[in-house]
Amino acid sequence: MQTIRLTMAQALVRFLENQYVTYDNVEQPFVKGVFMLPGHGNVVGLGQALLQEAHRLEIYQGKNEQGQAHVAVAFAKHMKRKQIMAVTSSVGPGAANMITAAATATANNIPILILPGDVYACRQPDPVLQQMEQPTDLSLSTNDAYRPVCRYWDRIVRPEQLMSAMISAFRVLTDPADTGAVCIAMPQDVEGEAYDYPASFFEKRVWRIERRPATEIAIAQAVAAIKASKKPMLICGGGVRYSEAHEAFKKFAEKYQIPFGETQAGKSALLWDHPLNLGGLGVTGCSSANEIAKDADLIIGVGTRYTDFTTSSKWLFKDEAKFVNINVSEFQAFKLNAIPVIADARDALEKLSAGLEGYKTAYAGEIQAAISKWNKEYDRLAAIEFGPAYTPEVNDANAKSAFKYAEDVNANLTQTTVLAAVNKLIDAGDSVIGASGSLPGDMQRMWRARAQDTYNMEYGYSCMGYEVSGALGVKFAIGEDHEVYAMVGDGAFIMLHSEFLTAVQEHKKINVVVFDNASYGCINNLQTAQGNATLCTELRFRNENSGKHDGKFISVDFAAIARAYGAKAYTVRTMKELEEALADAKKIKDIPVLFDIKVLPKSMTEGYGAWWRVGSVEVGGTEANRAAWAAHVEHEKAARKY
């Protein structure tokens, strides 16, 4: 047997260089590159290996461990899980910083390979710098914290263990049903230890991402359930996009005239103006989707996890409604006591379509009426203007609240009006990304996808700080032909924008649209709606008299921050300034752009026939607390139990 003597880290890099995937007979390298934030634990062993062994792999310098990992997550998501990036950090705090991103990946079923440095396997110099000792178990380190947030976890304590570990790692990374974060912890002494590896370990390996076929009996059961229904509804989940079942889903819906609602992950699989597209579904959904869902007697979920936002905490669908779940994951397919079709979405939809010949729904004009009603509401949201003569509509509670803030924050633009304008003014093929705050709700309701797969929303974990880093990941995926716009609140931008500098360094133009409403508006709404006073959800100075954060709003010049990094930036307070800034920014090619848009607090969307279980308090000190609890009790009675 031919062998090659390499250090563990050198063998790892050489292995990564030679991993490929094939999907529908299309073959490509699986690992695009490695994001590295060097420190003790990875700079010597793995750093030397990358210098020596990386030829095809691209190497990028991260600025924050969590940030660089979010780049990788967004990249893999936009690549429909067919290509990934690896990320590596030092031991201790550097490793711990990526745990949040690992959870983000796993919650969304997105593959990412995490390679944190680790303490010494030999333990001879213990405790080393940044080592967290556990007196009851000296084998534990910071990296053990990855175990609950990863699909696969391993620690290489002998160099020969790398081989079995990497086979298992890539088995998970390329598994559509069970992918997520993979952590391979690397003790820094083992990284530099050598072993005579079989040459076959480094040969080109092609991993097949296969379409799991639906069984005849599963299709027969699903067909029977659909034929017994009068008003079925489809849910377009992320699995439609990952399985590239866009056309199959469209043909199925059109053939049998079944309307569909979108999840955050499924949005942009089909375009916004499809006559059967009801828009976003659930807590952050449109009135059109939620009204049809409440009357549906069968829900056909395609590639969805049925989060509480999709199901409105299991309250949205009537108790007697049946479910057919098409999902490659057995775990997901059995949710809501459904008839499970454990299969690739495209395969299952094509077989279902063939088995339903002659079937007709009982819909009359309900679908078109619901969509028309929502379009009128969209037009209203897209055109709200504040000024001296503005009088909020009687039923617009948010607008009433927003209007009183205009002078305090020196803003008149509303979040919904700005969002609609950006949607209209950017090019149809450009991508948009978001994750946290009130923007995901506004975007699921209002963003009109004009091209396929141009919407990248991380809402499985709704991780603040994903947006700016994620925009860079999307840019790596889409290349230079199109642009990406990160929709981010001021709170999320403040929390994490480290990879904005990486975009400057890499000459990558990302567009960061900061909605500055001087607060954590989404959580402030939740807080006050439950009858509570504002606490730590507005960006105000501490008041010397009251001792509380109820002083003046803090004004932050986000545009100045961007310019300090070497980017182009615009401050926007009027619609004319927004239009001019977006037009001018299109001329820029190789540096990031930031739009610092001052918008009114409380100017987002809300409601539209959904309920979200949020942990209301049973014993409250205010009348509003007690009213919130009473509403909770009534909704819980009507919600499905499992």
pLDDT > 90? residue 234:
yes
The residues, ordered by sequence, that sit 6+ positions from 461 with a Cβ below 8 Å of its Cβ are 103, 104, 107, 108
DSSP assignment of 403-452 equals HTTHHHHT--B-HHHHHHHHHHHS-TT-EEEE-STTHHHHHHHH----ST
pLDDT of 223 reads: 98
DSSP state letter for 148: G
Tell me the pLDDT tens digit for each residue of 531-578. Answer: 787 888 887 889 888 888 888 888 899 999 999 999 999 999 999 999
93-100: average pLDDT: 97
Residue 3, amino acid? T
Q: How confident is the model at residue 466 (pLDDT cuts 50, 70, 90)?
A: very high
Q: What is the pLDDT of residue 600?
A: 87
* Per-residue pLDDT tens digits for 190-218: 999 999 999 999 999 999 999 999 999 99
Give dist(CA 446, CA 267) in Å, integer.
11
Backbone angles phi, psi at 10, to 5 degrees: -65, -40
The 10s digit of each residue's pLDDT in 12-51 is 999 999 999 999 999 999 999 999 999 999 999 999 999 9
Nearest-5° Cα angle at 331, 327 to 336: 80
Among 302, 342, 301, 294, smallest CA distance to 319 is for: 294
What is the model's pLDDT at position 622?
87
Confidence of residue 395 (pLDDT cuts 50, 70, 90): very low
Per-residue pLDDT at 321: 96
Distance CA 75, CA 67 (A): 12
Q: Which of 183-192, 224-233, 599-608 has the lowest mean pLDDT?
A: 599-608
Q: Which residue has the tokens 């609609």?
A: 420
Architecture of domain 3-208 in this structure: 3-Layer(aba) Sandwich (3.40)
Q: Where in the chain is the domain with CATH 3.40.50.1220?
A: 216-369
Whole-number Å distance between alpha carbons of 314 and 311: 5
Specify whether the CB–CB gap between 294 and 314 falls below 8 A: no
Confidence label for 389 from pLDDT (cuts 50, 70 and 90): very low
CB contact at 8 A, 69 and 87: yes
On whether the CB atoms of residues 288 and 296 are closer than 8 A, the answer is no
Q: Output the average pLDDT for the chain.
A: 94
Residues 6+ apart with CB under 8 A from 494: 556
Q: Phi and psi of 341, rounded to 5°?
A: -120, 95
- Say whether 457 sits in a helix, a strand or coil: strand
Residues of the chain with CATH 3.40.50.970: 3-208, 382-518+555-598
In this predicted structure, which of 34-38, 90-94, 494-498, 525-529 has the lowest mean pLDDT? 525-529
Using DSSP, state whether 31 is helix, strand or coil. Answer: strand
pLDDT for 507-524, tens place per residue?
A: 999 999 999 988 887 888
Q: How far lies 268's CA from each of 189, 250, 452, 458, in Å?
A: 47, 12, 5, 14
Distance CA 225, CA 300 (A): 10
Separation of alpha carbons 95 and 104, rounded Å: 15
Q: How far is CA 257 from the centre of its chain?
A: 30
| pLDDT score of 407 | 66
Superfamily for domain range 382-518+555-598: Thiamin diphosphate (ThDP)-binding fold, Pyr/PP domains (3.40.50.970)
The pLDDT, as a whole number, for residue 552 is: 85
Cβ count within 10 A of residue 577? 16
In Å, how far from its chain's centre is CA 270? 18
pLDDT score for 604? 87
Confidence check: pLDDT of 393 > 70: no
Residue 387 has pLDDT above 70, yes or no: no
Please tell me which residue, 51 or 619, carries the higher pLDDT value.
51
**Which residue pairs, CB below 8 angstroms and at least 24 apart, start in 566-569?**
566/504, 566/591, 567/500, 567/503, 567/504, 567/591, 567/592, 567/593, 567/594, 568/592, 568/593, 568/594, 569/593, 569/594, 569/595, 569/596
> What is the mean pLDDT of the segment spanning 147-175?
98
Average pLDDT in the 333-342 region? 97
Tens-place pLDDT, residues 470-503 = 999 999 999 999 999 999 999 999 999 999 999 9
* Closest alpha carbon to 570 in 555, 556, 585, 588: 585
- Residue 394: the pLDDT is 43
Fold classification of 216-369 (topology level): Rossmann fold (3.40.50)
pLDDT bracket for residue 397 (50, 70, 90): low
